[in-house]
Structure 1
Amino acid sequence: MRWRGLTGVLSSQACTLSANRLLTVAVPWLVLDRTGSAAQTGLVVACQVLPYAFTQWLAGPLLDRVGPRRISMAGDVSSAFVLIIPAVFGTPPLWLLTLMLVVVGCADGPASAAKRMLVPFAAADAGQSTTRGVGLATAVERTATAAGTALAGWLVATLGGDRALWAAAAMLGAATVIVTLTVSDPVRDRGRDDRTYLDRLRTGTAFLRRSRPLRALTAMFVVTNLLDQALMAVLLPVWARAGGYGATVVGLALSTVGLASIASALASAGFGARLPRRATYLIGVLSSGPTRIVVLALGLPPQVVIAVYALAGIGSGLFNPLLETVQVELIPAPLRGRVQTLISAWAWAGIPVGGLLGAALLNAGGLDTALWICGLAYLVAVLRPAWRMDWSAPKPPGEPVRLPPLGRNRLTRMLRERPSPPNRVEHRHPLRPRADRKAVAARR
């Protein structure tokens, strides 16, 4: 029974993430098949992605006040209800499909943040460390990304885009049932900042602004997500096309990253708590970040590129659970919903303009120059938190504090400076209480 909550959270995450990956393939294919316009396809997809990050931030105070379990259930059931509209009313027009995806994005953002918030609480209830719980959640996310995308391709090819939406609705409904039956809410915040919604929102913003380690991590997330989007959307396809490799090499490299990250995330769940944190972070980010860009700039053959991307997947599965664990440790539990959703919103801020940045660098200096600039910027971004943060793990409660050893001269000086006790010693009868002098004088 101890693992019931953690198993339920991970299972609901698997259902929700698989549904999301299914939508990322089915919706563009459905719009493109109906309209034949790439511009309209991009607009419809953006209508789902943009509300996802914005509503996460707005839902932060509600997560702390109402509880993540209820937010997760409400978001998943709302998305499932919207996606079954084609099953009831037939194929929707384009405007209705766009409105459906806006609602799905608004509901899915808070629901995903709620499940992320439930992981450390469920891991603690199961008697497991936060590192193990987050490592398992990362492995579930990477597995759902690979399996959901493959399932989406099969469903769209065999049943069509409309039926794929039904499958996504069924997965979201299953996630709602799992959370309802297996997960319980953590203790909610009853602090003095409960007066208004805006007060709670400002409290989370102020905490992030005052925390130097969290500011360093947030800045790193913004820059790396921006550069990752520039690489995936523009630079990597252009490199493959310029070298005559085609889309097969790109797909193989990306799938290699996903498979390797699943294995390393499971390894992190097993023994990640025993690894030195700063070294794990540096090895992980350096192998999974700048190397993916530099290997393209060096013009190495595709076999080497795929091998480097496999190492990048291993590094990604190691350091991502570590960063999630550090955030859980740095943010107090009553503020976790507000602060984590704000960090996620900032991390997503650079994604919409990442493709534009890659295209601008490509037009300004060519492919090699763009790759070297992105690789150098990535290196600077990931090295900054390494020396601006204290990576030591917090001491468990009840552990005695170890003081540094004192030298002989310092110990002697401390003993000399200690005030001596008074010389006069008052002797009292062992059975007779000391009489009050004022009372004795009054009786006289």
Structure 2
Amino acid sequence: MNNPSRPLLRDRNFVWLMSGGAISVLGDQFTLIALPWLVLELTGDPVALGMSVALMGLPRAVLILFGGALVDRYAPKRVLMLTKHVNTALLAVLAILVYSGHAHLPAVLALALSLSLASAFGIPAGTSMLPHAVAPPYLQAANGMMMGLRQAAMLAGPLLAGLLFALAGDGSGGPRHMHGLALAFGVDCLSFAVSAWTLAQVEPRPFTPPAPQPVLRSVADGLAAVWRDTLLRTCFIYWGLCACVIGGVMQVALPLLASSRLHGASALGLLLGAHGAGALLGMAASSIGRRRAGNLGMTLLLIDGIVGLLLVPLGLITASWQGMLINVVIGVLGGFVQVAVFTWIQQRVPRELLGRTMSLFMFVFMGLAPLAAALSGWIAGRVALPALFGGAGACLAGAALLAWLFTPMRALRDAPATTV
């Protein structure tokens, strides 16, 4: 049996695209840790932390549907290249402000908002690039390799960021000790510049775009198609609730946990790195074969219930290794679910609607998670960390139980792959 990865690794387009994507994801991890930590150091306020997370995600979520429609109209490479140049400039300004000691909350929040707006167009452009770069017979293998390398970069990034903060400072000693944060933004800035250069080397395959359609009409058609599909609609609503817990609460709770009980930003890097390592293992396990507890729906709901139970002791830990152990297990389960869910959507949705459906899927996660993060910041100022983690875990486990009892999700089955 031929190994499809061999011709892919000889494909100039794929190698350039994969290399640039991995570099960009690696750099992003530095900003994902440094930005909330910078806000905490500037304000010491959980509400401000929640606001910064919301500004990084909410505008992106609102505009990502329009970004996906525009990418369908214009070349993905053109849109993606523009966003990479914009992000390079924004991160350069942020790094200079932090290094010079002139970073203040209004300026930081304004730059966070600008980064969010740029990513609203960069994310759908990036997810649309691969079919334009490789031949259709190798698309599945290319997706698998890109997802694995992306997760490896997400694993290495927090660990490297934690090491950088440990060596260069994370701002805990005052403004004069923020050089580590400035370097983190500089690393991400450099990653965007390099990935823009690698993207310039990619020569897209010939493609005839569909007939032009008003952006609002295109977005509305995609929304209507998902809404008419009862099972797909139910799954999206349920996954949105999960996003509020995992994507929202954890973005606030983990930094607060590292700040109050552990060893600062370096501990946060270790916690996120452990989650990334687990997710990589979970993706590998999911790629080997279809392991199910009954069917796909029952498996997904069972895993969500287990993750909810695991969140409860996370609020009680007193050492980094304890949090790393729990996060590894959560990551394994999450990585397994991610591959299964993406594959199910790709197999169920017609190809001509897949781009808008995936944009809606990302909208659900990116829109609700920032709102949940802002609410979590407000709650965190009024309750203890164990209550925050325990409440989040109870909500996730309860949502899984209710979905099993009252929705068709428990009958969800793997769809057969469609023919090309």
Bucket of the pairwise TM-score, normalised by the shorter protein: 0.7 to 0.9
TM-score, normalised by the number of residues in structure 2: 0.75
- 2:302 match: 286
- 1:78 match: 86
For the 8 Å contact 1:134–1:321, the answer to whether it is kept is: no
- Are 2:111 and 1:100 aligned? yes
Pair member with larger Rg: 1
Using the aligned pairs only, state the percent identity.
21
- 1:127 match: 137
For the 8 Å contact 2:95–2:186, the answer to whether it is kept is: yes
- Are 2:56 and 1:48 aligned? yes
- 2:181 match: 161
CA–CA distance in structure 2, aligned partners of residues 306 and 161 of structure 1 = 23
- 1:431 match: none
CA deviation after TM superposition for structure 1 residue 328, in Å: 2.4
**Alpha-carbon spacing, 1:334–1:186, altered in 2? closer, same or farther (3 Å):** farther
CA deviation after TM superposition for structure 1 residue 173, in Å: 1.2
2:236 to 218, 239, 261: 218
CA deviation after TM superposition for structure 1 residue 41, in Å: 4.9
For the 8 Å contact 1:277–1:392, the answer to whether it is kept is: no
> Can you give the 5+ residue segments of structure 2 that lack an aligned partner in the other structure?
1-6, 169-178
CA–CA distance in structure 2, aligned partners of residues 321 and 46 of structure 1 = 26
- 1:60 match: 68
CA–CA distance in structure 1, aligned partners of residues 221 and 38 of structure 2 = 42
Deviation string 1:328-377 (CA, Å, 9 cap, x unpaired) is 233333433322212211222321343536949979x9676764344121
CA deviation after TM superposition for structure 1 residue 75, in Å: 1.1
- 2:197 match: 177
- 2:4 match: none
Q: Which amino acid aligns with 1:260?
A: G
TM-score, normalised by the number of residues in structure 1: 0.71
CA–CA distance in structure 1, aligned partners of residues 243 and 395 of structure 2 = 15
Q: Which amino acid aligns with 2:275?
A: V
- 1:436 match: none
Q: Matched residue of 1:114: which SS?
A: helix
Q: Matched residue of 1:396: which SS?
A: coil
CA–CA distance in structure 2, aligned partners of residues 353 and 86 of structure 1 = 24
- Are 2:288 and 1:266 aligned? no
Q: Matched residue of 1:16: which SS?
A: helix
For the 8 Å contact 2:249–2:392, the answer to whether it is kept is: no
- 1:407 match: none
Q: Which moved more, 1:221-230 or 1:367-376?
A: 367-376
- Are 2:419 and 1:396 aligned? yes
RMSD: 4.2
- 1:11 match: 19
Deviation string 1:224-250 (CA, Å, 9 cap, x unpaired) is 1112246525778999999x9999999
Deviation string 1:3-57 (CA, Å, 9 cap, x unpaired) is 4344333333322222222112222344454566555555444332222222212
CA–CA distance in structure 2, aligned partners of residues 376 and 166 of structure 1 = 42
For the 8 Å contact 2:68–2:356, the answer to whether it is kept is: yes
Q: Matched residue of 2:201: which SS?
A: helix
The 5-angstrom pairing of residues 12-411 of structure 1 reads: 12-34=20-42, 39-85=47-93, 91=100, 93-94=103-104, 95-119=106-130, 122=133, 125=135, 127-128=137-138, 130=140, 132-156=141-165, 157-158=167-168, 159-182=179-202, 184=204, 187-191=207-211, 194-229=212-247, 232=250, 255-269=273-287, 271-272=288-289, 279=295, 282-283=298-299, 286-287=302-303, 289-295=304-310, 310-355=328-373, 356=375, 359=379, 371-381=393-403, 384=407, 386-387=409-410, 389-396=412-419
CA–CA distance in structure 2, aligned partners of residues 120 and 212 of structure 1 = 29
Number of matched residues?
Answer: 388
Q: Which moved more, 1:252-261 or 1:17-26?
A: 252-261
**Alpha-carbon spacing, 1:219–1:290, altered in 2? closer, same or farther (3 Å):** same
CA–CA distance in structure 1, aligned partners of residues 248 and 210 of structure 2 = 43
For the 8 Å contact 2:94–2:108, the answer to whether it is kept is: no
The 5-angstrom pairing of residues 431-442 of structure 1 reads: none
Q: Which moved more, 1:43-52 or 1:317-326?
A: 43-52
CA–CA distance in structure 2, aligned partners of residues 250 and 291 of structure 1 = 23
For the 8 Å contact 1:224–1:381, the answer to whether it is kept is: no
